[in-house]
Amino acid sequence: MRHIDRYVISSLELHLFFARIMKEHSLFLQAGFTPRDRDYAQKANHFLNQFEQVLHEAVRLSDCIVSPEVLSSGEVVTEFTLDAEIQTQRLSSIQIDTRITEMEKKLRPGSRSFISPDVVRGVRALNRTALRLLDGLIEFKENILRNVDRCRMFTMNYPLLIEHILREARLYRSCLCNYENGRDFDCQTLRELTSFWNRIMMEHAMFIRGLLDPSEEALFDTADEFARDFARLLEQARDKNDMTIAKESLAEAMKIRDFKAAGARGILECEIRSIILPLLADHVLREANHYIRLLHCES
């Protein structure tokens, strides 16, 4: 594959996953502010709208270009995404452009033997736009975290969750910088990959546990067990080789993926008592699907 083709495909696949993640981070931040901090809520909504535009452009450019593995992985959209957006919009009154999800569901995998210069130019412009927005979003998240840590702001989002979404934004930015500077398209070594995403999966379990209603004792215990399992993988990574940790991480990621899928269905059907927005349930499921695909690529 030509270097420029790989640049285009890698960039678009990154945006299809991470631009959606960033717009949803912005939505979760917006939903968590109190009336006192309506200026922050408005700024979060600005980033939501801007990353929707990035995602819309990425989808427009991606048809017949990105890999079938990405489109079938469940990291772009899941069976729950559209319903989760509709329910979240109804519950929060935060506007979501669900047309993008409909477009994504119709994307066709790569079939072009030649990627046109117009598409290359479009991707270069998109990457620059995303980098500029990421600089602003990262600074915004850092500002929120400082205010929360110094007891200057109350938000319904845990400080650890703000740190968590900061790490994801920084990874997105790091990958784009690599692409734009002509460096390796693999943003992380296998050890860095498992370390980063096992921590993300561990924290997902912790957040789920903390957002479930106290009456959901069985789900609470299951989430707690997943948090311990991923913490164990992080600890054992010091003593085991990378491929062994990757194999064990894949098995654990598939289990938490199934747990999250069941949780997303239960929340959408109002069968689980929690303070978890439907879109958050789908969001963490997509991240598990993304991690599983990356691990399959390494095996």
47 has pLDDT over 90: yes
Q: Are 88 and 96 in contact (CB under 8 A)?
A: yes
92 has pLDDT over 80: yes
Q: Please write the tens of the pLDDT for every residue from 198-220.
A: 999 999 999 999 999 999 999 99
287 has pLDDT over 90: yes
What pLDDT sits at residue 128? 98
What pLDDT sits at residue 201? 98
Q: Please write the tens of the pLDDT for every residue from 139-196.
A: 999 999 999 999 999 999 999 999 999 999 999 999 999 999 987 778 889 999 999 9
- Mean model confidence pLDDT for the chain: 96
What pLDDT sits at residue 185? 73
Q: How far apart are CA 29 and CA 292, in angstroms?
A: 26
Could you write out the three-class secondary structure of the chain?
Answer: CCHHHHHHHHHHHHHHHHHHHHHHHHHHHHHHECHHHHHHHHHHHHHHHHHHHHHHHHHHHHCCCCCHHHHHCCCCCCCCHHHHHHHHHHHHCCCCCHHHHHHHHCCCCCCCCCCCHHHHHHHHHHHHHHHHHHHHHHHHHHHHHHHHHCCCCCECCCHHHHHHHHHHHHHHHHHHHHHHCCCCCCCCCHHHHHHHHHHHHHHHHHHHHHHECCCCHHHHHHHHHHHHHHHHHHHHCCCCCHHHHHHHHHHHHHHHHHHHHHHHHHHHCCCCCECCCHHHHHHHHHHHHHHHHHHHHHC
Domains of the chain: 1-66+107-187 (1.20.1260.120), 188-299 (1.20.1260.120)
What pLDDT sits at residue 78? 98
Torsion of CA 201, 207, 208, 212, to 10 degrees: 170
Longest CA–CA span in the chain (Å) reads 57
Reported confidence tier of residue 228, pLDDT bands at 50, 70, 90: very high
What pLDDT sits at residue 1? 66
What pLDDT sits at residue 298? 84
